[in-house]
Amino acid sequence: MKVGYLDCFSGISGDMLLGAFIDAGWNKDELLGLPSLLGLNATVEIKRESRNGISAVRVEIIPGDDQPHRRLDDILKILTDARLPEGVKGKAKGAFERLAEAEAKVHGCPIRDVHFHETGAVDAIIDIVGAFMAKESLGLKRLVCSPLPLSRGFVKCQHGTLPLPAPAVLELLKGVETHFVHEEDELVTPTGALLARELANDWGLPPAMKIDATGYGAGSRNLASRPNLLRLIVGEVEGGKDGLFGQVVELKTVIDDMNPEQVGFLMERLFSSGAVDAWLTPVFMKKNRPGVELTVLSQEEDLESLSHVLFSNSTTTGIRFGKTDRMVLERYPVKVKTKWGKLRAKAIVRPQGKVEIVPEYEECRAIAKEHGLPIGEVYRAVICSGDTWQPEEEGEE
């Protein structure tokens, strides 16, 4: 599995990220042609510069004359009308909606009234769309980001002089690993914070990988304390023959005073809110009271929402959590041809490349109920039809 690691030792901005993607192998022609695809009056300049003796790619977006201030609806229309893949459009729209929410909270106004100013300028639109395109073009299945360094100082913007980190940056980085450093220049811009939040699948140390490429994106300024660079390391996950390594957050809580009838509802809520997995283990608590230990596996970005589900839908008053390594087999959704039509299933890649088709319970349950069949019969039909499967994105009707 191809993965990337964003080493943000000097922070992150949109132009630095695009430069790192290009230096790591992204075709620069895709970026050069992006203003035309978006219908924007702008040009892109790509050049090579040096920071502290390290060669890097510097990307500069040059807006044309008379660029308007844009609201969220204006940007969403630009993205809707753009000649881009629908997946990229959807991700970019979601990113700008998250940015609008952060700006609205900072300035105390409705989301639709937010004037994006710097963050909504033509260069930010290209930065955000370009970053999603680059991740997809490079085939990065997983992107890990280092904790972000936050500086102390001030920055001038449309609203006047603001303290660093910029208020919008702090809103965007809620729940993200950060640390403060002795630097008075801005290290993490709002666009950079947004892209790190939207693109990263994990935060922390780099995964074990076989390195294929390294890219450096240069910032516009020279910093006194550090090279103003963003480093992207691209490689293949070292997973051995049995699987691929990754990280999840494990949440645990013990409950002994909850109506058991409500536990099933709690589990449904956890899975619908993004839980990777969840299970119950019988335990004996103090004074030999019987109880259950609830364990939930979560992606880091879902930790806050799953904690909210636990506190809102159970009697627990405390949750323990921590990161844990795991090794998983490669898997992807497929559709299998059966006499009842195409049914969704999972393709799991076993060691030595053998592909095993695993039926999806809800699909089989629906067919069994509709036709009055034992669910085991539907399961067997899906497994026996495994040689007719297609990747789901290619098999949609």
Radius of gyration of the chain (CA): 24
Cα-Cα-Cα-Cα dihedral sign, residues 329, 330, 333, 337: negative
CB-based burial label for 302 (10 Å; 0-12, 13-18, 19+): buried
pLDDT in tens, 201-242: 888 888 878 899 999 999 999 998 899 999 999 998 755 444
- Phi, psi torsion values for 292, nearest 5 degrees: -130, 145
Q: How far apart are alpha carbons 335 and 357 in whole angstroms? A: 10
- For tokens 């910093």, the residue is 223
54-63 vs 290-298, strand pairing mode: unpaired
Q: 128 Cβ partners below 8 Å, 6+ apart?
A: 14, 92, 95, 96, 191, 194, 195
Residue (of 366, 350, 273, 281) closest to 313 by Cα position: 273
Report the mean per-residue pLDDT for the chain.
Answer: 89
3-state helix, strand, coil in the chain (%, to 5): 40, 35, 30
pLDDT in tens, 289-314: 899 999 999 988 888 899 999 999 99
Q: 264 Cβ partners below 8 Å, 6+ apart?
A: none
SS3 74: helix
Confidence class of residue 161 from pLDDT cuts 50, 70 and 90?
confident
Mean pLDDT of 100-123: 79
SS3 82: coil
Q: Please give the structure tokens belonging to residue 37.
A: 């695809």
pLDDT of the residue at 245: 62
pLDDT of the residue at 241: 43
Mean pLDDT of 49-59: 96
> Is the pLDDT reported for residue 397 higher than 50?
no
More confident position, 333 or 83: 83
pLDDT of the residue at 395: 41
> Is the pLDDT reported for residue 392 higher than 80?
no
pLDDT of the residue at 142: 87
pLDDT in tens, 309-368: 999 999 999 999 988 877 788 778 888 889 999 898 988 887 766 788 899 999 999 999
pLDDT in tens, 114-156: 877 544 578 889 999 999 999 999 999 889 999 999 998 887 7
Cα-Cα-Cα-Cα dihedral sign, residues 65, 66, 71, 77: negative
pLDDT in tens, 276-289: 999 999 999 888 88
* In the chain, alpha helices (H): 14-23, 28-32, 34-38, 72-81, 86-107, 117-120, 122-137, 167-172, 190-199, 263-272, 303-313, 361-371, 375-384, 392-395
pLDDT in tens, 64-73: 887 777 888 9
Single pTM value for the model: 0.64
Q: Which domains does the chain have, with CATH numbers?
A: 2-237 (no CATH), 244-328 (3.30.70.1380), 331-395 (3.10.20)
Q: How far apart are alpha carbons 5 and 298 in whole angstroms? A: 20
Q: How far apart are alpha carbons 18 and 133 in whole angstroms? A: 10
Cα-Cα-Cα-Cα dihedral sign, residues 321, 323, 329, 332: positive
pLDDT in tens, 164-192: 999 999 999 998 889 999 998 999 999 99
Q: How far apart are alpha carbons 233 and 20 in whole angstroms? A: 9
Return the number of other C-beta atoms located less than 10 Å from residue 354's C-beta: 8
Q: Please give the structure tokens belonging to residue 278.
A: 């969840």
Mean pLDDT of 59-67: 87
- For tokens 């929402």, the residue is 305
